[in-house]
């Protein structure tokens, strides 16, 4: 590994959620590997969760220091309320971040630490870039979702101005929107601010993503967790977009990906007992929430397929208790099914026994599936996951979507039918292997993403 001298002290700040902490922590590891010192800023509550789930993480790398700032909220209940959460973050975090940077600077005068001279901030926490700009600190944005999502998001002002969407992000004219001729058209069903379960949250979410085009102007470059060969057209329409992904944890970094929950690694031994490409892995990320009705249909679908499956059922995966049902279900599927509360997902997807990934299409999960050549069955829940599904099914053709019935519920019949179709499709498997190879090359020596990262470090952080 090439180490560069005189790299700056870099402050890295994610939006406080699993799908944002994980990729930025992986990026921090890469930068630290080249010799930079990194200060990683979490909210107090996320920090407590990460440290509880990963004992010894803060001693894991002496070039990454974990620090915290408050999010202004008292309880986890408040943190689950998007309006309270987003309002509080904007109200208190910029001030605390500025104080933190000033504190490090004061300490550095006493020679305890080097002052922070570069910031990498999640564009969804883009207020941090404004703090950096005010304080004269060089900076870059980071985008944790697909570049196609970023292209749509950056175009929001023009969409409102052109009367294509209203101020709440609702389509006014057509259901199909062409933004750039080289990009596939966007469907209003795939709007990345979509929250079908909750129109109020959608409104708040849209206000939040509407700030991103302004935040984007605060930095010249945006590091993106994607790769050129996957999203060439979208990358080409965003000046300064620098694809450096997929940010995939190598075995050396598995313990540094910052899970917010304890990973149950008994599932890896369970996977060892299964033949190659025999297990269905089911996981819907950190935020999806199902009604009991939807949960029952998913469970019955898996039961009817009657193949080995590993299912991540977070304690808060359903909005009402399903304990009694789950007990009976586990009893019935005990010979071929395993349920855990949180899995070491990247190790699971890299395991030879995994045949298919039933996913919500969060961008990290999508990339992890693609990087391991695993066919996807898609059941998006909110936000960019709908657009990710469209790319998986229609552009890269590495999976199929599960549709909802007239009540939006994906039935057991639909789950079973589509799952069997994915498992039986040679075309999908061949496409998966092709994309896996492209992903591997992009982060290997001489690959597009690795070269972008090295150039960024050499010319921007040095
Ligand atoms: C969210 C959004 O859904 C996503 O679309 C956006 O791009 C980033 O933020 P989340 O819903 O949690 O994230 O999904 P995802 O992006 O897939 O991230 C989940 C992460 O948790 C993945 O890195 C995955 O490996 C990890 N995970 C998930 C585990 O480690 N164990 C599990 O059991 C489940």
Q: Which atom from ligand 1 is nearest to the alpha carbon of 365?
A: 17
Whole-number Å distance between alpha carbons of 202 and 208: 10
Whole-number Å distance between alpha carbons of 221 and 225: 13
In order of start, what are the domains of the chain with their CATH numbers? 9-248+443-461 (3.40.50.2000), 263-439 (3.40.50.2000)
Distance 288 CA to ligand 1 centre (A): 10
pLDDT, position 319: 95
Distance 129 CA to ligand 1 centre (A): 24
Whole-number Å distance between alpha carbons of 34 and 2: 6
Using CB atoms within 10 A of its CB, is residue 116 exposed (0-12), middle (13-18) or buried (19+)?
buried
Q: What are the pLDDT digits (tens) for 400-453?
A: 999 999 999 999 999 999 999 999 999 999 999 999 999 999 999 999 999 999
Q: Which residues contact ligand 1 via a Cβ below 6 A?
A: 17-20, 22, 144-145, 259, 283, 285-287, 312, 342-343, 345-346, 362-365, 368, 383-385
pLDDT, position 452: 98
Q: Which atom from ligand 1 is nearest to the alpha carbon of 286?
A: 12
pLDDT, position 198: 84
Distance 225 CA to ligand 1 centre (A): 13
Asked if 14 and 122 touch (Cβ cutoff 8 Å), the reply is yes
pLDDT, position 462: 87
To test the pocket of ligand 1, the residue of 14, 18, 264 to mutate (highest count of ligand atoms within 8 Å of its CB) is 18
pLDDT, position 56: 81
Distance 363 CA to ligand 1 centre (A): 7
To test the pocket of ligand 1, the residue of 21, 285, 287, 388 to mutate (highest count of ligand atoms within 8 Å of its CB) is 285
Asked if 151 and 183 touch (Cβ cutoff 8 Å), the reply is yes
pLDDT, position 112: 59
Whole-number Å distance between alpha carbons of 10 and 313: 36
pLDDT, position 19: 97
Which three-class secondary structure state does DSSP give residue 12? strand
Q: Which atom from ligand 1 is nearest to the alpha carbon of 342?
A: 33
pLDDT, position 454: 96
Distance 218 CA to ligand 1 centre (A): 27
Tokens of 92: 């208190």
Beta-bridged to residue 12, according to DSSP, are 40, 120
| Residue ranges of the chain whose pLDDT lies below 70 | 1-2, 5, 59-62, 110-112, 249-255
């Amino acid at each position: 590994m090439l180490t560069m001298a005189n790299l700056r002290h870099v402050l890295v700040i994610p939006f406080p959620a699993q799908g944002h902490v994980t990729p930025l922590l992986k990026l921090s590891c890469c930068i630290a590997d080249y010799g930079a010192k990194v200060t990683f800023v979490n909210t107090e509550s996320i920090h407590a969760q990460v440290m509880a789930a990963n004992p010894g993480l803060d001693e894991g790398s002496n070039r990454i220091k974990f620090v915290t700032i408050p999010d202004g909220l008292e309880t986890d209940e408040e943190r689950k309320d998007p309006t309270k959460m987003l309002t509080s973050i904007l109200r208190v975090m910029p001030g605390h971040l500025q104080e933190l940077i000033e504190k490090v600077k004061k300490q550095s005068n006493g020679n305890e630490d080097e002052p922070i001279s570069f910031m990498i901030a999640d564009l969804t926490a883009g207020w941090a870039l404004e703090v950096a700009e005010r304080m004269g600190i060089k900076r870059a944005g980071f985008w944790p979702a697909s570049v196609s999502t970023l292209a749509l998001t950056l175009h929001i002002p023009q969409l409102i101005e052109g009367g294509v969407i209203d101020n709440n992000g609702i389509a006014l004219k057509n259901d199909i929107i062409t933004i750039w001729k080289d990009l596939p058209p966007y469907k209003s069903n795939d709007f990345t601010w979509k929250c079908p379960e909750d129109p109020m949250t959608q409104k708040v979410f849209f206000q939040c993503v509407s700030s991103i085009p302004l935040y984007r102007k605060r930095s010249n470059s945006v590091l993106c967790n994607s790769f050129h060969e996957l999203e060439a057209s979208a990358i080409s329409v965003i000046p300064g977009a620098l694809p450096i992904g997929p940010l995939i944890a190598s075995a050396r970094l598995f313990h540094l990906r910052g899970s917010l929950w304890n990973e149950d690694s008994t599932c890896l031994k369970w996977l060892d007992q299964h033949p190659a490409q025999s297990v269905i892995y089911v996981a819907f990320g950190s935020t999806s929430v199902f009604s009991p009705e939807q949960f029952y249909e998913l469970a019955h679908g898996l039961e009817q397929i009657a193949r080995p499956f590993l299912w991540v059922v977070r304690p808060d995966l359903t909005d009402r208790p399903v304990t009694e049902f789950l007990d009976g279900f586990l009893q019935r599927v005990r010979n071929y099914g395993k349920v855990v509360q949180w899995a070491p997902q990247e190790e699971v997807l890299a395991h030879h026994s995994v045949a298919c990934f039933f996913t919500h299409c969060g961008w990290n999960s999508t990339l992890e599936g693609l990087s391991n050549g695993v066919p996807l069955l898609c059941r998006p829940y909110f936000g960019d996951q709908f657009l990710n599904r469209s790319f998986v099914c229609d552009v890269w053709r590495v999976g199929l979507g599960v549709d909802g019935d007239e009540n939006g519920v994906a039935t057991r019949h639909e789950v079973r039918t589509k799952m069997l179709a994915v498992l039986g499709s040679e075309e999908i498997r061949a496409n998966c292997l092709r994309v896996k190879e492209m992903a591997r090359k992009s982060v290997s020596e001489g690959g597009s993403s690795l070269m972008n990262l090295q150039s960024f470090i050499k010319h921007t952080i040095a």
